[in-house]
Amino acid sequence: MGNLQVLDQATGLRRMRQPHPVRVIAVTGGKGGVGKTNVAVNLAMAMSHTGKKVLIMDADLGLGNIDVLLGLHPHANLHHVITGERTLEEVIIDGPANVKVIPAASGIQNMAQLSSQTHAGLITAFSELSQDLDVLIIDTAAGISDTVISFARAAQELVVVVTDEPASITDAYAIIKLLSRDYGVFRFHVVANMAQSAQHGREIYAKIIKVSDRFLDVALDYMGYVPEDEFLRKSVKKQRAVVEAFPRSKSSQAFASLAEKANKWPLPGTAGGHLEFFVERLIQTNTSKIGAVS
């Protein structure tokens, strides 16, 4: 019996030492003003409420506003990481609901014009984090800049936020087309934001499906909708996430539903062959599994 206990303890210690993959979700939308940052922040909070250890990165490098949205006051941000004044670990701050936040700079023009090598260096820096994480959520900038493309490609899952506006539908289609045609990204999750009802959310999604099915070879998944909600506007004024400020509101319930769906997405079994966030943890996990089998 004693030997069995020792073996069980040894197995438990090995599992504790083994790295586990981090689910990386990029939230994008093409057009500005579709509520992308609100979706990213509240999804992060809702996933944290399910017990996940969540880190959110404000990847709108020159016009970051997650800290403002949450009423945070960071002393350093990604600008200091890029210039070498701080490490990535040093700029992480505590946000609400046990969510960790990597703030971006605001009003620094050259941050929006970084080279591909700088993007690569920033993505690689995540491998050095000692944080115990389950989920990394990337809130990308608006548009289809090199920065947006770099971070979207380095994620495992892409969430595209759309509203029932022609410009939003067109821009969402444009980013899906670019990522699929030029970078081999074929799976996208669509969130219909500011929808009047569940049916309206489906109708917004149908508009994206109509053009993508005709012209693109991609797999679109309807992740769900976030309703038009006065409590969401009130939470922005309070500088709080709606899932924290008004947990019983319709929008909070919608974010809880989105979090449940995201938690069920399978983690990738292998690296994708291109630059990815936390790719070393994925490789180490696979190596550990192979070693355990052999």
Q: Say yes or no to pLDDT of 278 above 90.
A: no
Q: Where are the domains of the chain?
A: 29-268
* Separation CA 196–CA 181 (nearest Å): 33
pLDDT tens digits, 93-129: 999 999 999 999 877 666 767 788 888 889 999 988 9
- Which residues lie below 8 Å from residue 45, measured CB to CB, with a gap of 6+? 54, 96, 97, 99, 241, 243, 244, 255
Residue 1: pLDDT band with limits 50, 70, 90: very low
Given a contact cutoff of 8 angstroms between Cβ atoms, the answer to whether 150 and 123 are in contact is yes
Beta-bridge partners for 23 = 135
What pLDDT, on a 0 to 100 scale, did the predictor assign at position 283?
55
pLDDT (average), residues 199-215: 94
* Separation CA 167–CA 155 (nearest Å): 25
What pLDDT, on a 0 to 100 scale, did the predictor assign at position 256?
98
Domain 29-268: CATH superfamily, name plus number = P-loop containing nucleotide triphosphate hydrolases (3.40.50.300)
Weakest mean pLDDT among 18-32, 204-218, 241-255: 18-32
The percent of residues in the chain predicted with pLDDT above 70, rounded, is 86
pLDDT (average), residues 220-231: 97
E strands, the chain, in order: 23-28, 54-59, 93-94, 100-102, 135-140, 157-162, 187-195, 219-227
* Separation CA 257–CA 238 (nearest Å): 23
pLDDT tens digits, 142-199: 888 888 899 999 999 999 999 999 999 999 999 999 999 999 899 999 999 999 999 9
Q: The tokens of 50 are what?
A: 């399910």
Q: Which amino acid is residue 244, in one-letter code?
A: E
Q: Say yes or no to pLDDT of 139 above 70.
A: yes
* Separation CA 131–CA 57 (nearest Å): 14
Given a contact cutoff of 8 angstroms between Cβ atoms, the answer to whether 46 and 243 are in contact is yes
Weakest mean pLDDT among 16-25, 67-76, 258-267: 16-25
pLDDT tens digits, 51-78: 999 999 999 887 888 999 999 999 999 9
Buried b (16+ CB within 10 A) or exposed e, 109-118: eebbebeeee
